[in-house]
Structure 1
Amino acid sequence: MASKGPQWIRFLRHYGPSARNDNMYDEHIRASAARSNLDPLLFKHPIEDELLPLFSQDAESPTSVILTGTAGDGKTHLCRQIWIQLGGDPEAWESDDVYFHVNASIAGRETTVHIVRDLTGLPETGKTGAFLTKTDLLEFFAHTIFDLSSSSVFLIAANDGQLVDTWARLNQTNDRIDETGRLLEELLFNDRREEEGSRLKLFNLSRISSAELFDRAAEAFVRHEGWQHCIDEEGADDQLFGSLCPIRRNYELLKSDQVRGRLRALLELCDHNDTHLSIRRVLMLLANSVLGFSGNEAGGIKVPDRLMRAVDVPRIIASQQVAKASIYNNIFGGNLTEHRRNSHDIYEQLGRFRIGHETSNRIDNLLIYGDSDTGLREHFDRFLTDDTFYGANEAYRALQTAYIEGAEEGGEETEQFLEVLVSQRRGLFFKIPESIERELSPWDLTVFTFAGEYLERVLQRIRRGKKIEKRVIARLVQGLNRIFIGMLVSSDEELWLTTGLSGSNAKVSVVLEDRVSVARDSHRFVNIANDISGSPVLRVSFSESNIIELRLTLTRFEFLSRVAEGVLPGSFSKECHEDMLAFKSRLLSAANSRKDASEDDEESQTEFRFVELDEMGYPRPKTVELDL
């Protein structure tokens, strides 16, 4: 019988970034697991405890459910769990059918449960039980969710966008179809789960935190029994899971709090940058991180799909190409071809951090001159010399020496060293511990240099119910003032709301409409709070009932912080600049709505307040009266 260790590695490759069809992903993985006599990578889905009881004897009442989200969010897996829970035949589920039905007792009532595991794949005619067409089935569904006495409920899985599109194509002359379409739009676009008067719950799986999915997936990944088989069968140093094995080294690094915590931070930042990563993509990230190998270029060892197998390990070690299996590079898809990398959204999103391509003078001095610089030698030894797998090996030192000695600019050696620097910067991002972040910040290796502060001083404090420090809010206010006024304003104590003589969006706006203090002043102040979903918002309060909010994504936080430090708004992000001007318009409308009704109209028409800057850039109001 084949050894279980190599079997596990072979099975794990199925989760990696291969070219296979994703449409039957769940079924494909289960079939592969059965052939290998191994369990798939499984963990409790975040909505499982809420979803499964809805189809049980203990449910409050029979309720239909729609599962929506992106491909790979776990919809098919959850449908299968409910099918098995209701007594459905597991073998029947393995068929190519899309529609299933089963009779069960739910909330003490005999109920027929109709399951559509892929709304898009539901055929227009046939294979839908007693329903002649897809339209007949969906019309019946629309009827059941508003009929409290109906003995049928539905479980429907549909990808994002397909749900509303499907309903839009149905015959809208049917009142129930039309009513259901409006209900679905209301729930989807307002991020709600249910509405009174209907027997329907909608779970949008794309709203689930990618960081939470990573926590669950990573735990299932590193604790899978397959790794124990590798450990039990550990052979010589140059074999699978021997002391020199890059798969073993990558697995151990992924288990470490340092690497796992830094990777989780990236996914949490994705969550707060309006990006959702599915379970399938997270599992792909984990598998590729451990098994990836970038040696398929000319002169390198060729590994199928650039994912290592047990048989590849001795060849990689013997050829001294272990560095090409670096987990730090694999995490960003650095082992893949550009085409393959760009075809997966998770690498596109992680690539937006530009880790490996962004740097600072101090970090590059460490990587290039650190072994001969007394101030940097300790860090060079810790992060490069002592890393015998992915640090400063003989090949690195040879390229480093050639570069320092003035290798031809644009020459082959220089190009090779610059490529190696990308991988080493990525390594530093994961190696630098929190204890020395003030001296060497890993976030200097990203395009979001304020990301660490966003995590620590905004997200973590909000999560713990603590107030955001005034200095953080003040810097954001200074950035807003520079955008709103259009000049290099130094004020961070107050938010200055100004317009121009040609309108609120004038490039330079010096007509003062209102000011709001950063410090709490009765009901007028600026602060950072969290919205109903737990995301941070910049909140400007004019009164208890007059509050304007701006979602504070990572990009917006970085944008305002950079502007406060002197970056021109348009040079960083035109989209963010336009968002801030739209925010300004909302603030001005709110400010105008709160003006004292007793204000003397005649006086207000003959008096204007302007903003002037002193020599230090601090604004001050100046009142001008018109002589009419």
Structure 2
Amino acid sequence: MYDETIQRALARLKMQPIELPAQHLAWLVDNFRSNECQSIILTGTAGDGKTYHCRRVWLELGGTIEDWNGGEKIQRLSLGSRQLTVVKDLSELRSDESKPLIEQMAWDVADPNSPRVYLMAANHGQLLEKMKNAGTDKTTSALVEVVENLLVVGRSGNSAIKLDLRDLSRSAAAVMIDQVIDAVTLHPGWDGCADCPALNGATCPIRENRERLVGTTDNGLFRRRLGNLVEASEQNGGHFTIRQVLSLVTNIILGHPDARDGLMACTDVAELAAAGTAERASPYRNVFGGNLKPSRAERTEPFRKLNLFGIGSETSNKVDIMLVYGADDPALVETYRALVQTDQVYGETPAYKRAQQSYLEGDDPSAVARFLLEDDVTDDIGNVNGNSHWWQHFC
């Protein structure tokens, strides 16, 4: 399971984990501590944080991380006179494992005096399939009917069955993304950058991208625009799992097309600076997977969904004229300064100026493609031609 893989990696590397939001944690813990607690099913798609919620509940209620990481698919914890059974992922169970479990669960949720309660994680597609395959007796059928009602209408329709369900795929990613940004950018591991040699008179693109996500230089405008994009995508049916949000935030900070797998490590920074390509780590292109090969970005869910907006895919004469002639045109110079010149990291960089000059002088037939089409179209979030603030101000 993904969550267990991450836990093993953290233990091996002796790293402090990034504590991501668990929106239903308090409600779950309160339920299992209550005298009138009921069994809970957490459902959703892969990456919604079902197993993560289960682990957090396990730890909050007194379970140990050593037991959790022991490799068992089903964990049991004593809660006074009751026993909590935690199913990490129902889809991981073989039929000979899931059938007796579900049959017992059906009896327990129907018995108000049962000492057993359950916390079960299950993907949408597997939940009803496993339930229906468990049996057709009256008790199991009643459980299946309640689960169907909870999935479809949000009510059980049978007050005698002590069961509730939470669909984590209904959690708004537009809310989560702010929490994920804070969890990643404010992690204490960043303190290790204090002695980094890359800070000696140079700009580290990793730290620069982190600062832009934090919002210290633009009063949080970039992250608000990012949240708006995610919200608009969700309104159009593009669900973002917590895992996808984490992947998106990570790519914004570490993305660079020349780095291995498109993601920078600290050891890459000096080499990229020496090559004069550090500016290609622009977070405004990384939002759309511009650091990846197009085919890979298209296969990666958060970038596929965000690229449906077509941001950066078209330009206009007004934008082109400002970018090409704005520095010297009295009518455009203020706009140029505000949108391009003020950003010396990802806006008016030396490479940008060289490409601009080459285009104006016409000494290179390929200069037009390089300056107005090839690199710049994908450089920035919503700006079409290399201006990292265009999208921030007008999108």
Q: TM-score, normalised by structure 1?
A: 0.58
Of the candidates 67, 70, 75, which is equivalent to residue 92 of structure 1?
A: 67
**Which residue of 327, 348, 373 maps to 2:329?**
373
Which whole-Å deviations, capped at 9, do the CAs of 1:361-414 have from their partners, x for residues lacking one? 433332233223322221222222232211133333343344456689xx6444
Which is higher, the Rg of structure 1 or of structure 2?
1
Does residue 246 (structure 1) correspond to residue 221 (structure 2)? The answer is: no
Closer, same or farther: CA 378–89 of 1 in aligned 2, 3 Å: same
Instruction: Identify the match of residue 46 of structure 2 among 65, 71, 74.
Output: 71
Residues 360 and 187 of structure 1: is their aligned pair in 2 closer, same or farther, counting only changes over 3 Å? farther
For residue 101 of structure 1, give the secondary structure of its aligned residue in structure 2. strand
Q: Measure how far apart 1:320 and its partner are.
A: 0.5
Instruction: Give 1:284's aligned residue.
Output: 247
Q: Does 1:143 align with 2:97?
A: no
Gaps of at least 5 residues in structure 1 are 1-23, 126-132, 296-302, 443-628
Question: Which residue number in structure 2 is paired with residue 122 of structure 1?
Answer: 93
1:111 equivalent in alignment to 2:82:
yes
Identity of paired residues, percent?
34
Retained in 2: the 8 A contact 1:217–1:283?
Answer: yes
Whose helix fraction is larger, Structure 1's or Structure 2's? 2
Shift of 1:71: 1.4
SS of 1:112's equivalent in the other structure is strand
| CA 375–196 in structure 1, closer or farther in 2 if over 3 Å, else same | farther
One-letter identity of the residue aligned with 1:235: P
Task: Give the partner amino acid of 1:135.
Answer: K
Task: Please give the residue correspondences for 1:176-191 in structure 2 after superposition, counting only pairs within 5 Å.
Answer: 176-191=139-154
- Give the total of aligned pairs: 387
The CA distance in 1 between the partners of 2:339 and 2:356, in whole Å, is 16
Q: Does the aligned pair in 2 maintain the 1:116–1:156 contact within 8 Å?
A: yes
Amino acid at match of 1:97: E
Which piece of structure 1 moves more, 417-426 or 139-148? 417-426
User: How far did 1:135 drift?
Assistant: 0.8
SS of residue paired to 1:100: strand
Give the corresponding residue for 2:77: 102
1:274 paired with 2:237, answer yes
Structure 2 CA distance for partners of 1:236 and 1:341, relative to 1, 3 Å? closer
Measured in 2, the distance between the counterparts of 1:335 and 1:183 equals: 47
- Gap change, CA 1:32 and 1:273, over 3 Å in 2: same
Q: TM-score, normalised by structure 2?
A: 0.90
Query: How much does 1:118 deviate?
Result: 0.5
Q: Partner residue of 1:169?
A: 133
Q: Name the aligned partner's letter for residue 246 of structure 1.
A: P
Q: Is the 8 A contact 1:99 1:122 kept in 2?
A: no
AA at the equivalent of 2:109 = I
Would you say the 8 A contact 2:173–2:240 is kept in 1? yes
Matches within 5 A, 1:35-46: 35-46=12-23
Equivalent positions of 1:90-489 (< 5 A) are 90-105=65-80, 110-125=81-96, 133-171=97-135, 173-192=136-155, 196-230=159-193, 232-235=194-197, 237=199, 243-256=202-215, 257-295=220-258, 303-404=259-360, 412-417=366-371, 418-426=373-381, 428=383, 431-432=389-390, 441-442=394-395
Q: Report the 3-state secondary structure (helix = DSSP H, G, I; strand = E; otherwise coil) of the residue aligned with 1:383.
A: helix
**CA displacement, residues 162-195 of structure 1 (integer Å, 9 cap, x when unaligned):** 2122223333x31222222222121112245886
CA offsets 1:409-447 (integer angstroms, 9 cap, x no match): xx644433302221345264872588xx6xxx31xxxxx
The aligned amino acid for 2:286 is N
Q: Tell me how far apart the structure 2 counterparts of residues 390 and 68 of structure 1 sit (CA, whole Å).
A: 42
Amino acid at match of 1:330: N
- Secondary structure at 2:165 match in 1: strand
Q: Which amino acid aligns with 1:177?
A: T
SS for the counterpart of 1:169 is: helix
The SS at the match of 2:120 is: strand
Superimposed CA distance per residue, residues 177-225 of structure 1 (whole angstroms, 9 cap, x where no aligned partner) = 2222222121112245886332011011111110111121111112110
Counterparts of 2:103 and 2:173, CA distance in 1: 35
SS at match of 2:164: strand
Give, in whole Å, the separation in 1 of the partners of 2:52 and 2:198: 39
- Deviation by residue 1:102-137 (Cα, 9 ceiling, x = unmatched): 2222xxxx1121111000001233xxxxxxx42111
Matched residue, 1:47: 24
Which residue number corresponds to residue 30 of structure 1? Answer: 7
Mapped partners of 1:193, 1:365: distance in 2? 62
- Specify the code of the residue in structure 1 equivalent to 2:95: E
Amino acid in structure 1 at the alignment position of 2:378: S
Q: Distance in 1 between matches of 2:181 and 2:158?
A: 35
The alignment partner of 2:237 has SS state of coil
- Equivalent pair of 1:194/1:202 in contact (CA under 8 Å): no
Is residue 41–residue 220 contact of structure 1 (8 Å, CA) maintained in 2? yes
Is the Cα–Cα contact under 8 Å of residues 50 and 121 in structure 2 kept in the other structure?
yes
Structure 1 residues 161 and 194, CA gap change in structure 2 (3 angstroms): farther
8 Å CA contact 1:116, 1:122 repeated in 2: no
One-letter code of the match for 1:50? W
Provide the C-alpha distance between the structure 1 equivalents of 2:157 and 2:333, rounded to a whole number of angstroms. 60
Q: Judge which range, 368-377 or 218-227, deviates more.
A: 368-377
2:77–2:83 contact (8 Å) kept in structure 1: yes
Look up the match of 1:495: none
Q: 2-side partners of 1:397 and 1:104: how far apart?
A: 67
Contact 1:120 1:162 in 2 (8 A): yes
CA distance in 1, matches of 2:122, 2:163: 15
Structure 2 unaligned regions, length at least 5: none
Supply the AA of the counterpart residue of 2:208: R
